[in-house]
Structure 1
Amino acid sequence: MPHEAERLRALEELNILDTEPDEHLDAITKSAQDYFNCKICLISLVAEDRQWFKSRQCLDATETPRNVSFCTYAIAEEEYLIIPDATKDYRFAGSPLVKGEPFIRAYAGMILKSVQGYELGTLCVIHDEPREFSSQDVEVLRELGKKIELVLNNQRR
């Protein structure tokens, strides 16, 4: 990414990586999981060499390497990334997260930004079956993402 150093600095300034769960953020991911009827819902923050999950529903892992991260691709987009079937997407078909646990099939990730406008990570919903996402689905992700940004950007320590 052309502004990777600034993006990482904005993430670091939040002083949020490796912190305890947040009940407000967990409530938002639970709402998203319920709305999308998805297997997994995450708030993923993309650090230099990993993605770390500030909030997670139905996933035991607290992080994954950045090089297998769907969210790394998402933060390179303008606003969001939608993958209806990861097995048919050349970027992800060979991913260990598609070929093995958690067997990602569909993914939708809305970019979460810092107050400076840098991409911190995503709110993402993950299905274990292919799924299309409507414009209404995108709008719901956008609104939930705005709520998450308010919480993240107001937690500066």
Structure 2
Amino acid sequence: MKTPEIPENEAQRLLDLVAHNILDTKAEERFDRITRLAQRTFKVPIALVSIVDKDRQWFKSRCGLDAEQTPRDISFCGHAILGDSVFAVENALEDERFRDNPLVTGPPNIRFYAGCPLNSAQGYKLGTLCIIDDKPRSFDVENKALLASFAEMVECELHELCHEGN
């Protein structure tokens, strides 16, 4: 298993995350609506709005998963926030970064993961909108574009939420 690297701008990213006042807040329909749509559109058992904190990924919205958070060091989303586009793992059992990850070898038995980074208005990656399946699957350019469109909707809600809090 490969632990996700820490972004170069981590200190600033975490300050921006704290300024959003989103961590450990209640579920909100505006986010749950998007995860439900993503879950149904992609026909996956799990869809999440995952916020990557210092030591954990916390789920602002979750469909198909009971856990409210997982450690950052085993998170797929920790890898996804390092890039600027959709991060996809089509078969986690065949990917040396993930094949022995506890989220792969045990519940929720991740085989497929696709996550699109969620950018704050200041450009920091706060987390991801991600979809997960317990079966391997391919994920083409059209699917990546569609997931990115859903992520843009989440970003709009995050920006609105931040604006409301200030």
Fold-level match, TM-score > 0.5? yes
TM-score between the two structures when normalised by the length of structure 1: 0.98
The gaps in structure 2 that reach 5 residues or longer are 1-6
Residue equivalent to 2:113: 107
**Residues 68-102 of structure 1 deviation map (CA, whole Å, 9 limit, x = unaligned):** 10000000112221000000111100100000000
Aligned to 1:40: 46
Q: 1:7 aligns with which of 4, 13, 16?
A: 13
Structure 1: unaligned runs, 5 residues or longer: none
- Give the distance between the partners of 1:69 and 1:86, measured in 2 at CA: 12
Q: TM-score, normalised by structure 2?
A: 0.93
CA distance in 2, matches of 1:32, 1:16: 21
- For 1:57-72, list aligned pairs within 5 A: 57-72=63-78
Residues matched between the structures, number: 157
Distance 1:144 1:73 in 2: 19
Q: Which residue of 2 aligns with 1:118?
A: 124
How big is the alpha-carbon RMSD for the aligned residues of Structure 1 and Structure 2? 0.6
Aligned to 1:141: 147
Partner Cα distance (2:85, 2:124) in 1: 11
2:132 and 2:59 mapped to 1: Cα distance?
Answer: 14
Could you say which residue in structure 1 is the equivalent of 2:25? 19
**Which of 141, 145, 153 matches 2:159?**
153
Sequence identity (%): 46
